[in-house]
Amino acid sequence: MNQRQLREVVFVDGVRTPFGRAGEKGYYADTRADDLVVHCIRELLRRHPELPPERIDDVAIAATTQTGDQGLTIGRTAALLAGLPRSVPGFAIDRMCAGAMTAVTTTASGIAFGAYDVVIAGGVEHMGHHPMGDGADPNPRFVSERIVDPAALNMGNTAENLHDRFPGITKDRADRYAAASQRRLAAAYAAEQIQPDLVPIATRRTPSEGQPGTGWELRTVDEPPRPGTTVEDLATLRTPFRAHGRVTAGNAAGLNDGATTALLASEQTAAELGLPVRMRLVSFAFAGVEPEVMGVGPVPATEKALRNAGLSIDDIGLFEINEAFAVQVLSFLDHYGIDQDDPRVNRYGGAIAVGHPLASSGVRLMTQLARQFEEDPSVRYGITTMCIGLGMGATVIWENPHHAEYGAGTDSTATATRTEGNPA
């Protein structure tokens, strides 16, 4: 029997819908979740005519609430609705906020193993149609056997718990970070660094734009951002999760709708088909933490991913950290001694400004990192990382193909002696 050889995995491209605010007045109140995914898949194919659709080996789409227009094995249904050949299979994934990130790492592992050559991976969340936890029935043993504090089932409570654990992360610090996120996103929009990755979506007009059903509007920008937000503005917001607390609607991500998809391939297949290489996957890791402080999850996940890659935090030149809550990002930065205004961190702003449609967000982090790699060839490695509900964290490390030493010391036909969890 021949020894199996692992293959390098590359990120070819990624797109997303503009993110909308959840609710009856939001962009996508009258738009189906699966249709958002379909638009993203079709856009990837439109951008890459060099890819024969029949060469796509699988479609993995994540959703946290897998029911209604996010159910019915959404990876397969979206593939069919997008017009992919019926020979292309698909499946659904749920790892809450890290759904799209897990879709990427799961299919990337299949590429490294040789089961796939090209895949589409992404996520969707329509929180207007499916509020977080809607229809869930937590096992009573969680409470009766004290497996999880009931408060841990509310993400806002876990963020307040983080403030308790790290008293140096004050509300003022969180508000300053949140205002900076809004400024960075506004600057990225002004520099047209966000728009190239957006898929325009035509939707019915909302009540605020006239009577619903009386016309259509083309959505070309994100709905959640509040440019011009100041620390003084944020200081006046109420703290809904605790009296005299520190977590507000201004220093946390909102409730949002949106979808993302990414195209991944083996390095050899990308070369064969002439597909661009925007990033190389170096390693990834998931880790569990106490559900009551789920926001610290990115720290052990990053430690694990760095160890698998043989890198240190000092090797990382760009950080894309999902901003579920400002305190969660600040706890990560403080752990590594990184200033909250460090220019390596969330250069385009983050979820506090742009929104966090749960299972879709992981690929947004990746598309933004890929564009920053193109803009800054001096950076060799970057990470995408996020916390996950019920006490988990996820981190993926990527290499910049524009760096002078890209691929140095790697072997695209490396044998299966690499550390588990590191397919590249």
| Per-residue burial over 291-308, b = 16 or more CB atoms within 10 Å of its CB, e = otherwise | bbbbbbbbbbbbbbbbeb
- Tell me, rounded to whole angstroms, the distance of Cα 166 from its chain centroid: 25
The answer to whether the beta carbons of residues 321 and 332 sit under 8 Å apart is yes
Distance from C-alpha of 151 to C-alpha of 157, rounded to nearest angstrom: 6
The answer to whether the beta carbons of residues 317 and 380 sit under 8 Å apart is yes
Distance from C-alpha of 344 to C-alpha of 2, rounded to nearest angstrom: 44
DSSP string, 113-166: HTS-SEEEEEEEEETTTS-TTTT----THHHHTTSS-GGGGSHHHHHHHHHHH-
39, 130, 163, 387: the catalytic one is: 387
Farthest CA pair distance, the chain: 68
The answer to whether the beta carbons of residues 346 and 323 sit under 8 Å apart is yes
Please list the helix, strand and coil fractions of the chain in percent, rounded to the nearest 5, in that order: 35, 20, 45
**In the annotation, is 126 catalytic?**
no
97, 129, 130, 163: the catalytic one is: 97
**In the annotation, is 387 catalytic?**
yes
39, 129, 163, 356: the catalytic one is: 356
3-class DSSP state of 309: helix
> From the DSSP assignment, how many helices (H) and strands (E) are in the chain?
12, 12
Distance from C-alpha of 81 to C-alpha of 257, rounded to nearest angstrom: 19
**In the annotation, is 97 catalytic?**
yes
Find all residues with CB under 8 Å of 177, minimum gap 6, and list them.
251, 326, 329, 330, 340, 352
Q: Which residues belong to the active site?
A: 97, 356, 387
